[in-house]
Amino acid sequence: MKAVALFDLPEDELRAYRPEREEPPEFDAFWTRTLAEARDLAPGPRFEAADVPLATVEVFDVTFGGGGGSPVRAWLVLPRQCEEPLPCVVEFLGYGGGRGLAHEWLLYASAGYAHLVMDTRGQGGGWRRGDTPDPGAGGEPHSPGFMTLGIGNPHTYYYRRLYADAARAVETAREHPAVDPARVAVTGGSQGGGLALAAAGLVPGVIACLPDVPFLCHFERAIRLTDQLPYAEIAGYLRVHREAAPRVRHTLAYFDALHFAARARAQALFSVALMDEVCPPSTVYAAYNHYAGEKRIVEYPFNRHEGGQGHHDLEKLAFLGKVFGEERPPA
């Protein structure tokens, strides 16, 4: 038995773990209204050429209307002198990070794809800089961080705005003439993986979903199983607001990535780290086993939340080559 048995389920139970989903009856109507509002309030996206000292790619500084119509920043990185619309990878970021600097995002453009990197509203002060404020944030009491910001009501919860941003990022990528709108994939690690699942469940026609060690999955188990941040923000809030548990549970049900996974049809490549105490492997398998599309998962048995890193990048590039119809020889 691996060390994970001391923390999460034994491996045979882990791989079969598929808990019941407790989905609100108004789930689809809630998200239909949320995205309609974002689209109605959003101005058209802006793609402004960025002055970067890079010879093989060109970069656009992107601004688009996200949740509530408020502006969200992104980078669009393209192989220089592309002659026809390209497959595009839309990437979402881990908790606390922002879009950073354009030269930090060269992998997918180097592989010949368009690459849109969405900034994360209000974040970008933890480990990589961000440029997008969150004007929807209220002044209600919450734990430090973003997990309990507005958590008393699904309409005010921080992640309502962020999930809408993710869906709008896919729609924005499709508007650029260098992007083939029929070949858009979504990816991200941790929080970014949860956002990729949300986008794949919300936006029709996403061709591939590649969530790495995804966060925001199976809240009910995660907040009881791990004392690691960011899930611990919710438990900390409930230790103080003891009466709020039913209300918090109601809100989180609208944002659990299990429900988006059950709606997603894109081909999927998941990754899971079996010693991950931040996003417990059972919560990742819960999303994977509910995922409705064709899927595969790669396990990293001895890794924690860092997951597969560069090794998994190679898995992702091989997977995207097949999905995009541009299969390349292995490295």
Catalytic positions: 190, 276, 305
Distance CA 101, CA 265 (A): 32
End-to-end CA distance of the chain, in Å? 33
Q: Shortest CA distance to 173 belongs to which of 62, 28, 319?
A: 62
Q: Strand 57-65 and strand 114-118: pairing?
A: unpaired
Give, in order, the Cα–Cα distances in Å from 141 to each of 95, 121, 145, 321.
Answer: 20, 19, 11, 46
CB atoms within 10 A of CB 145: 19
What is 158-176 written as a DSSP string?
HHHHHHHHHHHHHHHHHHS
Distance CA 112, CA 275 (A): 34
Residue with tokens 């999930």: 163
- Which residues, including other chains, have CB under 8 Å from residue 170's CB and lie 6 or more apart? 90, 184, 186, 199, 203, 206
241: its two tokens: 């607001």
**Which of left, alpha, beta for 153 (phi over 0: left; psi -120 to 50: alpha)?**
beta
Q: Is residue 43 reached through a cis peptide bond, with omega within 30 degrees of 0 on the bond before it?
A: no
Q: Where are any strands of DSSP class E within 19-56?
A: 46-49
119: its two tokens: 């900034």
Distance CA 105, CA 101 (A): 8
Distance CA 319, CA 328 (A): 10
